[in-house]
Amino acid sequence: MLSLKTILLFCSVSIFFSCANSSARGAIDDVVKVDGDLSLLAVSNDIYELHLNAPKGEGIVMFNFCQGPIDLSRFTHAAVDLQNLSNARLDVRMMATSEAVKNDRYASGRFLLQPAEAEELKVLLNRKYFPEESAWRETFGRIRGLPGGHFSNWRYLDTSNVRIVRLKITWDDLPSGEGKLLVSKPCGSGAYTSDSLTPDDLPQPLLDTMGQLIDQEWDGRVNSVSELAADGARDLAEFTNHPVMAGLTEYGGWKGGPRFDATGHFYTKKVDGKWWFVDPEGYLFWSLGVTGVGGGAVTPVKGRERFFPDLSNDDFWRVENLSHGYDFTLGNLYRKYGEGWEEANQQVTFGRMRSWGLNTAGAWSVKSVLGHGKVPYTIIIHPNLQVLGGLEKIPDPFSLVFRKSLLEELETAATLYSGDAWNLGVFIDNELSWGKGTQVAREVIDLKISVPAKKAMVDMLAKKYGGIESLNRAWRTDFENFDSIRSLAVGAANDAYHHDLELYVNFHAETYFAYCAAVLEEHFPGHLYLGCRFHGSIYDRKNVLLQNAASRYVDVMSYNIYKNSIHDIVTDQEVDRPILIGEFHFGTGSHGVWGSGLVACNSLEHQAELYQLYVTEAVEHPSFVGAHWFKWADHPTTGRYDGENYRIGFVSIVDRVYETLTDAIQNTANQMYPLRHSSE
Digit-coded pLDDT (tens) for 337-351: 999 999 999 999 999
Q: At what angle do helices 341-356 and 225-239 cross, to 10 degrees?
A: 60
Q: Which residues contact 239 (CB under 8 A, 6 or more apart)?
A: 347, 348, 350, 351, 352, 355
Q: Is residue 25 part of a domain?
A: yes
* pLDDT the model gives residue 24: 35
Q: Cα-flanking dihedrals φ and ψ of residue 84, to 5°?
A: -90, 105
Q: Is residue 218 part of a domain?
A: no
**pTM value?**
0.93
Q: Is residue 217 part of a domain?
A: no
The CATH number for 672's domain is 3.20.20.80
Label residues 175-206 b or e (16+ Cβ within 10 Å = b).
eeeebebbbbbbbbbbebebbeeebeebeeeb
Q: Are residues 258 and 395 in the same domain?
A: yes
Q: What is the DSSP letter of 657?
A: B
Q: Are residues 485 and 512 in the same domain?
A: no
Looking at per-residue pLDDT, the higher value among 266 and 65 belongs to 266
Q: Is residue 628 part of a domain?
A: yes
Quickly list H helices, 535-639.
544-551, 604-620
Residue 317: is its pLDDT beyond 60? yes
In tens, the pLDDT along 70-116 reads 999 999 999 999 999 999 999 999 999 998 666 778 999 999 999 99
In tens, the pLDDT along 192-228 reads 999 999 999 999 999 999 999 999 999 999 999 999 9
Residue 26: is its pLDDT beyond 60? no
Confidence of residue 679 (pLDDT cuts 50, 70, 90): confident
Q: Cα-flanking dihedrals φ and ψ of residue 76, to 5°?
A: -90, -20
CA torsion 82-122-46-179 (nearest 10°) is -20
Residue 13: is its pLDDT beyond 60? no
Mean pLDDT (the chain, rounded) = 92
Q: Is residue 219 part of a domain?
A: no
Could you tell me the end-to-end alpha-carbon distance of the chain, in angstroms, rounded to an integer? 42
Confidence of residue 22 (pLDDT cuts 50, 70, 90): very low
Q: Are residues 357 and 501 in the same domain?
A: no
Q: Is residue 366 part of a domain?
A: yes
C-alpha–C-alpha distance, residues 473 and 460, integer Å: 17
* pLDDT the model gives residue 321: 62
**Closest by CA position to 364, among listed 322, 321, 326, 408:** 321
Residue 3: is its pLDDT beyond 60? no
**Which H helix or E strand runs over 405?**
helix 400-417
Q: Are residues 580 and 485 in the same domain?
A: no
**Of 464, 486, 505, which residue sits at a domain end?**
505
C-alpha–C-alpha distance, residues 365 and 380, integer Å: 9
* pLDDT the model gives residue 216: 94
* pLDDT the model gives residue 2: 40
C-alpha–C-alpha distance, residues 51 and 673, integer Å: 37
Q: What's the whole-number mean pLDDT along residues 472-500? A: 96
**Closest by CA position to 482, among listed 496, 501, 503, 463:** 463
* pLDDT the model gives residue 483: 96
What's at 199, amino acid-wise?
Answer: P
**Closest by CA position to 580, among listed 650, 642, 529, 526:** 529
Domain that holds residue 491: 439-505
Q: How many CB atoms lie within 10 A of CB 289?
A: 26
Q: Are residues 256 and 337 in the same domain?
A: yes
The CATH number for 14's domain is 2.60.120.260
Residue 15: is its pLDDT beyond 70? no
* pLDDT the model gives residue 569: 84
Residue 14: is its pLDDT beyond 60? no
Q: Are residues 59 and 139 in the same domain?
A: yes
Q: Is residue 494 part of a domain?
A: yes
Task: Write out the E strands in 9-144.
Answer: 31-36, 38-44, 47-52, 57-64, 75-84, 90-97, 106-113, 118-124
Q: Are residues 511 and 576 in the same domain?
A: yes
Q: What's the whole-number mean pLDDT along residues 406-427? A: 98
**Closest by CA position to 588, among listed 667, 650, 655:** 650
Q: Are residues 470 and 565 in the same domain?
A: no
Residue 10: is its pLDDT beyond 80? no
Determine what percent of the chain is predicted with pLDDT higher than 90: 82
Confidence of residue 7 (pLDDT cuts 50, 70, 90): very low
**Of 486, 505, 524, which residue sits at a domain end?**
505
Determine what percent of the chain is predicted with pLDDT higher than 70: 94
**Which H helix or E strand runs over 624?**
strand 624-629
CB 648 within 8 A of CB 315: no
* pLDDT the model gives residue 59: 96
State the burial class of residue 556 (Cβ atoms within 10 Å of its Cβ: 0-12, 13-18, 19+). buried
Instruction: For residue 268, give the 3-state DSSP assignment.
Output: strand
Residue 6: is its pLDDT beyond 60? no
* pLDDT the model gives residue 608: 98
* pLDDT the model gives residue 45: 84
Q: How many CB atoms lie within 10 A of CB 436?
A: 15
In tens, the pLDDT along 591-646 reads 999 999 999 999 999 999 999 999 999 999 999 999 999 999 999 999 998 999 99
In tens, the pLDDT along 160-200 reads 999 999 999 999 988 877 899 999 999 999 999 999 999 99
What's at 495, amino acid-wise?
Answer: D
Q: Are residues 426 and 563 in the same domain?
A: yes
* pLDDT the model gives residue 9: 40
Q: Is residue 215 part of a domain?
A: no
C-alpha–C-alpha distance, residues 68 and 360, integer Å: 50
* pLDDT the model gives residue 28: 35
CB 623 within 8 A of CB 275: yes
Confidence of residue 529 (pLDDT cuts 50, 70, 90): very high
C-alpha–C-alpha distance, residues 211 and 326, integer Å: 10
Domains identified in the chain, total number: 3
Residue 11: is its pLDDT beyond 70? no
Q: Are residues 381 and 299 in the same domain?
A: yes
Q: Are residues 174 and 245 in the same domain?
A: no
**Of 447, 481, 505, which residue sits at a domain end?**
505
Q: Are residues 296 and 311 in the same domain?
A: yes
Could you check whether the bond before residue 631 is cis, i.e. omega within 30 degrees of 0?
Answer: yes
